[in-house]
């Protein structure tokens, strides 16, 4: 894998992770206008007089030296940070949290914090993806969209879905004989649906499919904010209100809201498209440098005073206002605070390399977790068969999976062909 290319986790596009200097654009336009003018008036003459006349058409200001475009390292850092957060989220798991709470183990709140504070991971990836894909100054073609971007995601899904399907069937207590009819039926069912975490690939392909349309208004501030307003209302506010009613058992209100929203038959600005459009818009048109940790506490714990059944995780979803605000705040933090750090050349190379490996880390980390749990007895509750409390087991599992998934991704990146299609 070419580490000099920035690949946002979900997209695997070989675009340059660079900022474009407006001077380059201005000079290109000026020179093109000059060429057009002289083609009409004096043909293709290139003598000294013609060149002198051409120079006189350039702006009269002192042209500063053109700056070299530079890599956007804050985006790389955000990508790495998000990948590590996702592994922690999957290492802790909501089931582990509930099990501790059912036992009245007060340490459940620690696992709860792990589960809540890492929920920004996938929204951050989508924000970063939109930051670069929807930039009109970057080259775009349908040929590249389908033959490179979407094809690469499809082949990655096919490979890792196969690995997960084979592993799942093998781990069954009574797995069918290899290549038998029953085996193949189970395999294809698991293959086409994919392991749960691979939903990400379907989602980001969907964002890619509408990217050509979204690019048409990404630099139109009014239209972009109108679109984002619809995303916030229908894609975050309504789901949050619905979850609020569910968490506090306002059953009648929840049912009425569900009927009301169903009658809209409205799906255009739901799910992750708001993050996708918001990434580029925030990066270019929003300049906020103060960070308020708004509503994050609501993602930690919501409990009805009646009994345990009121316990809820409804405010942790990626379609809720709490996580949307949390993710956007972190995105802005990386852009404005991490973005002004001057890294040494060695650190830049390291950031670039690890950033290029994060897609492979995402695709492999759940396979690694499955192997660790079922073959090596390493989980939230044990290490090589030795019992552990989840407060220790979760961080340990997180570190092990992070290291092994990084090494796995790096190893695949060294293999020709595979490094282009499965990570």
Q: What is the pLDDT of residues 243-284, one digit of tens each?
A: 888 888 889 999 999 999 999 998 888 889 999 999 999 999
Instruction: Using alpha carbons, list the distances in angstroms from residue 68 to 13, 75, 131, 173, 229.
Output: 22, 18, 20, 60, 36
pLDDT at 211: 95
What 379-388 contacts at long range (C-beta under 8 Å, 24+ apart), as own/partner pairs, is: 380/91, 380/92, 380/93, 380/96
Domain assignment of residue 242, yes or no: no
pLDDT at 415: 95
Domain assignment of residue 174, yes or no: yes
Q: Supply the mean pLDDT for the chain.
A: 82
Mean pLDDT of 49-63: 47
pLDDT at 218 over 60: yes
Q: What is the distance between the alpha carbons of residues 47 and 198, in angstroms, rounded to a whole number?
A: 61
- The answer to which of 11-20, 207-216, 386-395, 414-423 has the lowest mean pLDDT is 11-20
Band of the pLDDT at 349, cuts 50, 70, 90? very high
pLDDT at 71 over 70: yes
- The answer to which of 78-82, 184-188, 254-258, 284-288 has the lowest mean pLDDT is 284-288
Band of the pLDDT at 318, cuts 50, 70, 90? confident
pLDDT at 116: 86
pLDDT at 395: 96
Domain assignment of residue 190, yes or no: yes
Domain assignment of residue 148, yes or no: yes
pLDDT at 309 over 70: no
pLDDT at 289 over 80: no
pLDDT at 389 over 50: yes
For helices 151-170 and 199-214, angle between their N-to-C axes, nearest 10 degrees? 170
% of the chain residues with pLDDT over 70: 78
Q: Where in the sequence is the domain holding 163, given as residue range(s)?
A: 142-195+203-210
Band of the pLDDT at 69, cuts 50, 70, 90? low
Q: What is the pLDDT of residues 151-171, one digit of tens each?
A: 999 999 999 999 999 999 999
Band of the pLDDT at 41, cuts 50, 70, 90? very low
pLDDT at 103 over 50: yes
Q: What is the pLDDT of residues 28-40, one digit of tens each?
A: 434 343 344 334 4
The string over 138-172, giving b where at least 16 C-beta atoms fall within 10 Å of a residue's C-beta and e elsewhere, is eeeeeeebeeebbebbeebbebbbebbbebebeee
pLDDT at 177: 86
Band of the pLDDT at 392, cuts 50, 70, 90? very high
Helical residues (DSSP H) of 134-250, grouped into ranges: 142-144, 151-170, 181-193, 199-214, 221-232, 238-247
Q: Which is more confidently placed, 306 or 312?
A: 312
> Do 119 and 326 meet the contact criterion of CB atoms below 8 Å apart?
yes
Q: Which residues contact 6 (CB under 8 A, 6 or more apart)?
A: 15, 16, 17, 71, 72, 75, 76, 132, 352, 355, 356
Q: Which of 142, 187, 75, 164 is nearest to 422 (CA)?
A: 164
Domain assignment of residue 233, yes or no: no
Beta pairing, strands 386-387 & 382-383: antiparallel
pLDDT at 32: 41
Band of the pLDDT at 180, cuts 50, 70, 90? confident
Q: What is the distance between the alpha carbons of residues 388 and 381, in angstroms, rounded to a whole number?
A: 5
% of the chain residues with pLDDT over 90: 58
DSSP string, 193-206: H--GGGHHHHHHHH
Q: How many domains does the chain have?
A: 1
Domain assignment of residue 137, yes or no: no
pLDDT at 58: 47
Q: Which of 189, 200, 181 is nearest to 162 (CA)?
A: 189
Domain assignment of residue 125, yes or no: no
Domain assignment of residue 117, yes or no: no
Question: For the chain, how big is the Rg over CA atoms in Å?
Answer: 25
């Amino acid at each position: 894998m070419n580490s000099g290319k920035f690949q946002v986790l979900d997209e695997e596009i070989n675009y340059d992770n660079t900022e474009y200097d407006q001077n380059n654009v201005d000079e290109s336009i000026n020179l093109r206008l000059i060429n057009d003018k002289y083609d009409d008036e004096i043909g293709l003459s290139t003598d000294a007089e013609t060149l002198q006349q051409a120079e006189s058409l350039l702006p009269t200001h002192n042209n500063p030296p053109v700056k070299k475009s530079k890599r956007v390292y804050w985006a790389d850092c955000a990508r790495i940070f998000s990948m590590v957060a996702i592994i922690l989220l999957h290492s802790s798991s909501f089931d582990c949290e509930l099990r501790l709470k059912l036992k009245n183990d007060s340490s459940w709140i620690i696992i709860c914090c792990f589960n809540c504070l890492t929920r920004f991971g996938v929204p951050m990836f989508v924000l970063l993806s939109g930051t670069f894909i929807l930039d009109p100054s970057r080259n775009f073609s349908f040929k590249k969209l389908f033959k490179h971007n979407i094809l690469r995601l499809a082949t990655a899904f096919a490979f890792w879905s196969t690995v997960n399907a084979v592993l799942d069937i093998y781990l069954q207590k009574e797995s069918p004989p290899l290549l038998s009819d029953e085996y193949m039926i189970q395999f294809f069912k698991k293959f086409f649906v994919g392991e749960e975490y691979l939903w990400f690939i379907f989602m980001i392909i969907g964002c890619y499919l509408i990217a050509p349309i979204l690019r048409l208004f990404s630099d139109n501030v009014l239209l972009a904010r109108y679109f984002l307003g619809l995303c916030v209302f229908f894609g975050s506010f309504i789901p949050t209100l619905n979850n609020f009613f569910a968490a506090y058992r306002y059953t009648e209100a929840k049912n009425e809201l569900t009927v009301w929203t169903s009658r809209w038959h409205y799906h255009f600005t739901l799910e992750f498209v708001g993050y996708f459009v918001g990434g580029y818009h925030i990066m270019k048109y929003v300049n906020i440098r103060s960070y308020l940790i708004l509503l994050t506490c609501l993602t930690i714990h919501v409990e009805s005073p009646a009994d345990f059944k009121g316990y809820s995780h409804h405010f942790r979803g990626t379609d809720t206002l709490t996580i949307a605000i949390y993710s956007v705040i972190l995105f802005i933090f990386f852009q404005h605070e991490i973005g002004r750090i001057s890294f040494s050349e060695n650190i830049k190379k390291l950031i670039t390399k690890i950033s290029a490996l994060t897609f492979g880390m995402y695709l492999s980390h759940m396979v690694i977790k499955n192997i660790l749990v079922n073959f090596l007895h390493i989980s939230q509750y044990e290490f090589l068969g030795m019992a552990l409390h989840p407060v220790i087991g979760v961080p340990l599992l997180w570190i092990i999976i992070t290291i092994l998934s990084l090494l796995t991704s790096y190893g695949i990146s060294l293999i020709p062909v595979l490094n282009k299609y499965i990570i």
